[in-house]
Structure 1
Amino acid sequence: MVAQKFNVDLSKPLVFQVGHLGEDYEEWVHQPIVSKEGPRFFENDFLEMFTRTKWWVIPVVWIPVVCWLVTMSIRMGHAVPQAALMVVGGILLWTLIEYALHRFLFHIRTSSYWANTLHYLLHGCHHKHPMDGLRLVFPPAATAILCVPIWCLIRLLTTPTTAPAIFGGGLLGYVMYDCTHYYLHHGQPSKDTARDMKKYHLNHHYRIQNKGFGITSPLWDIVFGTLPPPMPSRKSS
């Protein structure tokens, strides 16, 4: 099967094809294919293995790291309530990082071969195949790479004793983000708040891709004026 209008063969590994779309990549990647069966990325089985991650891997890998980081600050003299406040501050910081990454990096416009390819790997694949459950959360190796500059920034702006707990809070915020993101795509929420969050995020995918960048919270969309209009309610016939 060949995608209409664009010279991309969906039956073959996609990663090294999408770069050839040039300026047409932006339009192509925002025409979602709603299927739980994800595409193949690479011909090489070893590389392909690293592109697929089950959602539960995220808390299993990172929650112990969060606990270790918070314990570090406590061992360096901070009381538990103080460490808890640092964790809350880290979570709030994460929501801003989440918004900034989603708006300015994940939705950057690209047209060159390698820029298209990298964008597809980073976030474009999710917009093209939004129901691909094995490519919805970040692989731990990719998260570890992104953690390095965030840790350096927190370490620069805080103190040696507070940095671990604040960073741990940010990492906990990331875990909440990735698990929430998975649930918004694959869960069937029964509570109004969760249903509203799901509608809010699906609005970003299927209606207005340049608004609604918050996943765990619309806070920064409100602050920076990127709050999308609500989806129209369905009227019964």
Structure 2
Amino acid sequence: MGRAYVRYQSGRMFENAFMEAASKLHPAVPFFLYIPLTLGLLVWGLSGGRTTVGRALLFIPLGLLTWVLMEYCIHRFFFHWEGKGRLTQRVHEIAHGYHHKYPDDAQRLVMPLIVTVPLSSLIGGALWWVGRPAEMLPYFVGIVWGYVTYDTLHWATHHRTPRTAWGRALRAHHMAHHFATPDRNFGISNRWMDKLMGSGAPRRKAVRPPAPAHPSTPPRSPQGPAAAGR
């Protein structure tokens, strides 16, 4: 299944000027906003005895793994769900369809704050409501760090040339999703979730070009004693 796309261009998503502006974001904003905030939250929790270093070492990685699962599920089951009505198709276009149509628009490669601020507040509030800050505080920090890693890697796969074998493999994985198999390869910050879920695109076999045709070799002159006696 293929999708129409336009390279090295951008388009308009909303007629409303405010919504159009709010849908764009510099790719560095998530890092410089959420990393200091979560570091401050973690220091506040540790210094006030609300959590411990041991719990942080356990629950931050659990939060990172939770984000990996969220990333995969959101991308596969929400971003790529189009529905059948005009409303659901419009939601799909805003959430992800635009990105597939204009994959090189650098201002729409990370989630805008109009989405992430309410969503992170909702998740953080729900975890605080659980009433176990010693575990939930570092768990929330891990989820946010996972999200920032995802956004950073997504931008880099589109706009930076990878220098490592891992980076090249990750970029090839995501570019195949965009330009060859948009119904496969849903992992963005990783490839192992697609292997685990069986949604990875099969590797293309390298096709070796046919050997060029050579002119027939003329018969060689007879050699040896018999020829010498002629």
* Equivalent residues of 2:55, 2:134 under 8 A apart: no
Decide which of 88, 98, 122 is 1:125's aligned counterpart. Answer: 98
Q: Which residue of 1 aligns with 2:10?
A: 38
Decide which of 124, 130, 138 is 2:111's aligned counterpart. Answer: 138
Q: How many Å apart are 1:164 and its aligned residue?
A: 1.4
Q: Which residue of 1 aligns with 2:220?
A: none
Query: Structure 1 residues 234, 129: closer, same or farther in 2, change over 3 A?
Result: farther
Query: Structure 1 residues 236, 173: closer, same or farther in 2, change over 3 A?
Result: farther
* Equivalent residues of 1:199, 1:231 under 8 A apart: no
* Equivalent residues of 2:51, 2:137 under 8 A apart: no
Q: How many Å apart are 1:122 and its aligned residue?
A: 0.8
Q: Percent identity?
A: 29
In structure 1, how many angstroms separate the alpha carbons of the residues matched to 2:131 and 2:186?
Answer: 27
In structure 1, how many angstroms separate the alpha carbons of the residues matched to 2:175 and 2:205?
Answer: 13
Query: Structure 1 residues 177, 224: closer, same or farther in 2, change over 3 A?
Result: same
Decide which of 47, 53, 74 is 2:25's aligned counterpart. Answer: 53
Decide which of 120, 133, 137 is 1:164's aligned counterpart. Answer: 137
In structure 2, how many angstroms separate the alpha carbons of the residues matched to 1:54 and 1:225?
Answer: 34
Q: Which runs of 5+ in 2 are unaligned?
A: 211-230
Q: Which residue of 2 aligns with 1:230?
A: 203
Q: How many Å apart are 1:42 and its aligned residue?
A: 2.6
Query: Structure 1 residues 139, 219: closer, same or farther in 2, change over 3 A?
Result: same
Give the counterpart letter for 1:120 in structure 2: E
Q: Which residue of 1 aligns with 2:55?
A: 82
SS of the residue aligned with 1:116?
helix
Q: How many Å apart are 1:114 and its aligned residue?
A: 1.4
Query: Over aligned residues, Cα RMSD in angstroms?
Result: 2.3
Q: How many Å apart are 1:181 and its aligned residue?
A: 0.2
Query: Structure 1 residues 202, 80: closer, same or farther in 2, change over 3 A?
Result: same
Query: Structure 1 residues 39, 69: closer, same or farther in 2, change over 3 A?
Result: same
Q: Which runs of 5+ in 1 are unaligned?
A: 1-25
Larger Rg belongs to = 2
Q: How many Å apart are 1:116 and its aligned residue?
A: 1.3
The CA deviation string for residues 142-179 of structure 1, in whole angstroms up to 9 with x for no partner, is 01222245335545668232111111110010000000
In structure 2, how many angstroms separate the alpha carbons of the residues matched to 1:100 and 1:191?
Answer: 27
TM-score between the two structures when normalised by the length of structure 2: 0.82
Query: Structure 1 residues 104, 84: closer, same or farther in 2, change over 3 A?
Result: same
Give the counterpart letter for 1:39 in structure 2: G
Q: How many Å apart are 1:34 and its aligned residue?
A: 1.5
* Equivalent residues of 1:177, 1:216 under 8 A apart: yes
In structure 2, how many angstroms separate the alpha carbons of the residues matched to 1:58 and 1:234?
Answer: 42
Q: Which residue of 2 aligns with 1:211?
A: 184
Aligned residues: 209
In structure 1, how many angstroms separate the alpha carbons of the residues matched to 2:127 and 2:202?
Answer: 34
